[in-house]
Amino acid sequence: NFRYCSVMLVDEVTNKLKIMAANGIPDEVVNSTELEVGEKIAGWVLKEQKPTLLFNGLKEYPQFSHLKPRPEIYSAISVPLIVKDKVIGVVNVSSKDELRNFTTDDMELLTIFASDAALVIENTRVYEKLK
């Protein structure tokens, strides 16, 4: 039950987060998004290396008070992709549905998915380098 989803990976050259896969996000946003470590929600999750559950339109989160409110997002989860204590990216899901906030169960499920996905991504990178 999400409206938007993205997988962002750290570019090994620029050290910036870039969207590598997305659902519900316009192509121009996908192609132009690059975040510094600590920038916006995904950059903060990358820096802090911990899953984050947000609801009520981000009103209750002082660490994000500087961000412009986005009416298309009401609830969101952002989870780091971690392999061997190294964060390689972030998975983000968000919803506009005010009647259904994401829960800690949703965050735990996404964290399990992110753990498996991070391992697959890292193995693919190693394989490509060896090739």
Decide: pTM greater than 0.75: yes
Short-list 39, 1, 16, 26, CA closest to 89: 16
Residue range 93-104, pLDDT digits in tens: 988 776 678 889
Mean pLDDT lowest among 7-16, 58-67, 79-88: 58-67
Which pLDDT score is estimated for 22?
Answer: 95
Which pLDDT score is estimated for 55?
Answer: 77
CA 107 vs CA 82, 111, 126: distances in Å: 15, 6, 28
Which pLDDT score is estimated for 65?
Answer: 63
**Tokens describing residue 104:** 């800690």
**Tokens describing residue 31:** 């192609």
For residues 73 and 53, give the distance between their C-alpha atoms in angstroms, rounded to a whole number.
13
* Confidence band of 69 (pLDDT split at 50, 70, 90): low
> Rounded mean pLDDT of the chain?
87
Which pLDDT score is estimated for 3?
Answer: 80
